[in-house]
């Protein structure tokens, strides 16, 4: 199963649980925050965040006239999640308006692929998670 499908299925299952007045049937969460959220009304889907070993899905309990409560459910995964950045040669190609690829000497292409593959290692990939600064073209 692909990661997007795993997350979509889990979010719908948890939302179904919350809508039916049940606690989430999967994942880890705070009972205290769940109780506080239930006192405010129906849950709505919030954002999703990824870490190498877990997915964090948020459910928002909005309350007019007061602050909303956000319930975060941690979903452990069966395998490591990796962030696959857009390779620099693709960014350069898109910037130039060509989205089908770019030309490189074979030796340079092999180096680019090795660099990209290296970004999947646990140490190098971990730094790619989290908020990202906007990219600027110099």
Q: Looking at 76, 105, 128, which one is the last position of a domain?
A: 76
Please give the tally of structural domains in the chain: 2
Same domain, yes or no: 13 and 46: yes
Q: Which domain holds residue 33?
A: 3-76
pLDDT tens, position by position, 32-67: 999 999 999 899 999 999 999 999 999 999 988 889
Same domain, yes or no: 32 and 54: yes
Same domain, yes or no: 92 and 135: yes
Q: What is the mean pLDDT of residues 68-92?
A: 86
Judged against a pLDDT cut of 80, whether residue 133 lies above it is answered with: no
Q: Looking at 29, 57, 76, which one is the last position of a domain?
A: 76
Same domain, yes or no: 7 and 65: yes
pLDDT tens, position by position, 1-36: 789 999 999 999 999 999 999 999 999 999 999 999
Judged against a pLDDT cut of 90, whether residue 90 lies above it is answered with: no
Q: Rounded distance, CA 46 to CA 112, Å?
A: 37
Same domain, yes or no: 103 and 46: no
Same domain, yes or no: 18 and 64: yes
pTM for the model? 0.77
Judged against a pLDDT cut of 80, whether residue 103 lies above it is answered with: no
Q: Looking at 76, 103, 128, which one is the last position of a domain?
A: 76
Q: 133-138: long-range contacts (C-beta < 8 A, 24 or more apart)? A: 135/91, 137/95
- Decide: residue 100, CB within 10 A, 0-12 exposed, 13-18 middle, 19+ buried: exposed
């Amino acid at each position: 199963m692909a990661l997007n499908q795993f997350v979509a299925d889990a979010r719908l299952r948890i939302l179904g649980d919350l809508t039916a007045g049940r606690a989430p049937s999967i994942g880890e969460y705070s009972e205290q925050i769940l109780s506080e959220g239930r006192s405010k009304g129906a849950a709505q889907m919030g954002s999703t965040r990824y870490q190498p070993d877990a997915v964090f899905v948020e459910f928002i309990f909005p309350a007019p006239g007061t602050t909303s409560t956000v319930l975060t459910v941690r979903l452990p995964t069966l395998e490591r999640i990796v962030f696959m950045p857009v390779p620099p040669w693709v960014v350069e190609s898109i910037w130039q308006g060509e989205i089908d690829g770019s030309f490189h000497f074979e030796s340079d292409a092999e180096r680019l692929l090795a660099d990209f593959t290296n970004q999947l290692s646990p140490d190098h990939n971990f730094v790619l998670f989290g908020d990202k600064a906007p990219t600027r073209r110099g």
